[in-house]
Amino acid sequence: MTSEQESVERKLSFVFPTCTSKDEYCLEVPIHVPFSGSTSELTQRLISTFKLPPYVEKDLLQALESFIEEETTKYHDEVAENLVENARRDDIDVEDVIKAWERAFREETIEYAERRGATDEELFSTVYHKLVHSPALEAILQVEHSYALAVRELTGQRDEQVAALTSKQTEEMSRAVEGVPVYNSEQDINEMAARHFEDQNLLHGKWNSEVDTLKENQRKEYREWLMKMLEEHQTNVTLPTPVNSPLTLCPPRGFQHSGSQDEDSFIRLEESFTIHLGSQMKQMHNIRILSADLLDFCKVKLQNSGCLDPQPQRLQTALTLYSNDLYGLVLLTDNHVGSYSGLTKELSHLCQHSTEFHFLSMDDQLEKIREEVKDAVSWRNSHWNQEHLVTLTSSEQQSRRLGSTRNLQTGDVYVTKHSNLAEVHVVFHMVVDDSLRSSDINSRHPVILGLRNILKTACSNDITTLTLPVLLMHEMTEEMTVSWCTKRAELVFKCVKGFMIEMASWGGSELKNLQFLVPKGISEEVFVTLATMLPSIFRVSNPLVFKVSSTPHTPKSG
C-alpha cells in the first residue's frame, strides 16, 4: 500500500439469524475504504439485492457504520506508517515530491486564474502615466490637441456638407409638395423622400468613414510615438515628434489662456464651503454650489484664432487620468441607452471632436452597454416579485410594471469613461422621467436611490470629485418656482448628506469635492436661498475665535 492509493477493498461479514430456525446466515460484501457514500443507502441496496428480511435493517446499518469507521481508521494508520517507514529508509525522492507540488500548483493556477500576461492596454496606460508626470507632458498635450484640431476640421466639413444637402432636399421637397395636385402624385413624393433618405445615409456613411479612419490612424500613430518617446526619455535625449504629426508644421508654444471674450454672457454664481461629516471620526469635504451649464465641464474651448491650446483643467485631467483622484459627472438621460437627444446628443457631439486614445469611443461604449443591459434587464425581470412592490406607492408600482419590459427603469445608472474631455473622466448616465417635475417626490424615489448608488460607485472606484444637478433638472422650467426649488434642494442636500455619512462605512476613497450644479439662468434670489440653505444642512467648518486680554480674569468671590 502506498500513499498514492485512493482507496482499498475490504470485506464485510455480517451474520444474522432466521425466525423459523436456529440457523445463521453470513453475508460477505466487498466495500471500498474510505467510503464516501451514504451508509443508509448502502443498507437498503444490500437488502434489496440479496433479498434480506426487513428485520435485519437496523443491525445491518449498525454493522456497516462500525465496519466503515474501523477500517477507515486502519487505512489511514497504514498509510501514515508506510510514509514514516519510507522516510526512515530514504525511499522518498525529494525531487519527485517537489515536482508533484509544482505540477499541482501549476494545474490549480491554470484552472482558476486568468491565462494572460499584461495586455496592450495595461502597457499603454503604464507608459502614458509615466510620461505624463515627466517633462514630456507639454509635448503630449500639444500632440493631443493638434490631433483634436485636425478631427474638428474634418467634422466641420462633414457638418457643412450635411447641412447643405439637408437644405437642398428641404427646398426640393417643399416645391414638390406645393405641386402635388397638378404636377406630382403621392407616389412621387414618397419616392423623393426615399431618395433623400438614401442620399443622407450615403453622405453620412462617407464622412463617418473618413472621420473613423483619421481617428484610427491618429490612435495608432499616437501610441507608437509614446513608445518611442519612452525609449528616448530613458536615455535623456530630446523627445521626438512624429514625422507626419501636425506639430511638425508649427513650432511648440507655451500654454496660454484659452478663454474667449464672449465665453460667458451670463454671471456665473458660485459659493464654496468646507464641511466635516461623520459620527466619530469626522472627514473634511469641500462643498460647492454653482450655476453653470453641465457641458461646460466637458468642453475643450478654442481661442478666437482657432488654435487649440491646453486649458489648466485639461492639464489636471491628464495628470489624474490613471490615478486614485478621478473626476465624475452626473448626466440625466432617458431610458433608452445611447439615445441621441438632449444633453446626451451634445455630449456625444463633443466626444466626436477629438480622438479617444485611452478608451473605446463613446458610441462603442454605448453599444457595448446596450448589449449588457439586455442581460441585466432579463435577470431583474426574472427575480422581480411581489415582495419588492409591498413598500412602494401605487404610482411607483405602476411605473415599475410599465418599465419592466423596457431597457432601463427610472433610477438606473450606466457609466462611460472619457479621456478627451476638459474636466471629466467618468460620466454617470442616470435614467429619469417626468415624475421629477412634481414637487411630491421623497427620499424613496428611484432617482434619489440612484444618487446613492452613484456615490457608492464613486467612493469604490477612486472618484474623489463629483458634480451632480442639485434640482435633478438640467434646465429651468415654468413649474420650478422658488418654493419648488427650495423644497427639491433641501431634499437632495439632506439625502446626499446621509449618503456621505454612510459612505464612510463603505470603504474605498473619500469623496473630497462635491459640486452641486443648478441650471444656468437661475435667478440670483433663488441661488442665494439655496446657497444659504447648504451650510445650515451640512456642518460648516467655522473658526473658533478667542479674545485675548492683558488683564487676567479671576473668579468673583461669593
Q: Is 220 exposed, middle or buried (0-12, 13-18, 19+ CB in 10 A)?
A: exposed
Q: Where are the domains of the chain?
A: 8-112, 121-249, 270-301+310-336+411-537
The arithmetic mean of pLDDT across residues 523-542, rounded, is 82
- pLDDT at residue 480, rounded to an integer: 86
pLDDT tens-digit map of 235-274: 665 555 544 444 443 443 333 444 444 444 456 788 888 8
Give residue 304's pLDDT: 43
H/E run at residue 78? helix 57-88
Report pLDDT digits (tens) over 324-376: 899 999 999 988 886 666 788 888 888 888 899 999 999 899 889 988 888 88
- Domain spanning 270-301+310-336+411-537: CATH 2.60.120.10: no
Mean pLDDT score across all residues of the chain: 80
Backbone angles phi, psi at 6, to 5 degrees: -85, -30
Cα three-residue angle 420-375-111, rounded to 5 degrees:
90
